[in-house]
Structure 1
């Protein structure tokens, strides 16, 4: 970067630094995964670290509607400063896979409004927004299951997962796997649903990695916990 960024940096400074980090190879890789930015994530994280936490700058960067700027915004935002209305607004704008993933992980999961947002997103008709709700549901299956009706979730997954759009299907599958992994009384049913639906059964998996096919994933994680 041609200039040193710090807590007093402006939006223009950050975007100039991001432009200097643009890498066509990184962009090509990211675009294959549905993302439209070309900055190496390690370098983007380092840039964000130099800015420190700054909610005002985060909101300004987010409003540029530029994906790399949005990722920096997520890293420097203060999760507990968000209202439910702001979380809903950002959820609707976090449409690309990486932005949605980081927004849920680095902001939503660190707020006390997680469950309220999850319930709101589960009612959305947009499959991208509903996918965010299901990703938060997968999180709650492990972290706060008392707020969920797990048998009802399994009913919904069994009924809808096969025909769901890709990102929604993936999030439902994460929830199915987490139920099977974390809740022994429901494990047999989760395994049976996975075997019946065969969702992600043929997903290419690198050597040494666990398949996202729910029956394989559940059995492998349970074995590791034993």
Structure 2
């Protein structure tokens, strides 16, 4: 292991703030070899930093598969955060990476399926994609959500929520989906946060936009 990698691993603590990781990454810029050294530590915060300094050009489909499989050793929240950072910082930046991301709907790797659905939800949340494939995606969610792994269920539910908010023609189906599955019904949410239970989520988020 290089001296730089050892120094960073000694510097980054479990309570290191995400903003501090971004500052460190800004100083390093891109350094894929260093990123791989940090990744091999198997520690959560160093892996977040590793993602920030990876070189997109080195992220082939095979490399991405390996990274996603590696994330499985982390806790539920940690691996989902790592996947979100990988998606946000790399997979949504160029047409090549977006094409890879969009090919993951039926991937055998759980986190890749989660990333596909999370990306579809974010597109609709930001108003960037209300295309003709929306109803087909909702049909897939209706058929598969109860058989999926928990993290994929969450992402499918997230996508159905934003479809319900922005597509009036499909809103009743999205509400009915939540009523039938009862996913996240009665879950505690922090003050100011929107519940994940679809009927409540769609009503609250729709009302917010109606008052603007």
- In the alignment, what sits opposite 2:48? 71
Distance 2:120 2:97 in 1: 10
Any idea what SS the aligned residue of 1:121 has? Answer: coil
1:219 paired residue among 203, 207, 211 = 203
- CA-based RMSD of the aligned residues comes to 2.6
1:57 paired residue among 15, 30, 34 = 34
- Asked if the contact 1:53–1:76 (Cα under 8 Å) also holds between the matched residues in 2, the reply is yes
Distance 1:145 1:86 in 2: 31
* Number of residues of Structure 1 aligned to a counterpart in Structure 2: 202
1:142-176 deviation digits (Å, cap 9, x = unpaired)? 42343x62222222222222342211111111111
Structure 1: which 5+ runs fail to align? 1-9, 27-38
- In the alignment, what sits opposite 1:7? none
Distance 1:151 1:12 in 2: 53
- The two structures have a TM-score, normalised by structure 1, of 0.75
- Asked if the contact 2:35–2:49 (Cα under 8 Å) also holds between the matched residues in 1, the reply is yes
- In the alignment, what sits opposite 1:90? 67
1:84 deviates by 4.4
1:179 paired residue among 163, 168, 191 = 163
- Asked if the contact 2:13–2:45 (Cα under 8 Å) also holds between the matched residues in 1, the reply is no
Q: What aligned pairs does 1:100-111 form with structure 2 within 5 A after superposition?
A: 100-111=83-94
1:45 paired residue among 14, 19, 22 = 22
Q: What aligned pairs does 1:122-141 form with structure 2 within 5 A after superposition?
A: 122-141=105-124
Q: Would the alpha carbon gap of residues 90 and 173 (structure 1) be closer, same or farther in structure 2, given more than 3 Å must change?
A: same
- The two structures have a TM-score, normalised by structure 2, of 0.79
1:31-69 deviation digits (Å, cap 9, x = unpaired)? xxxxxxxx4323322222221233443344345544333
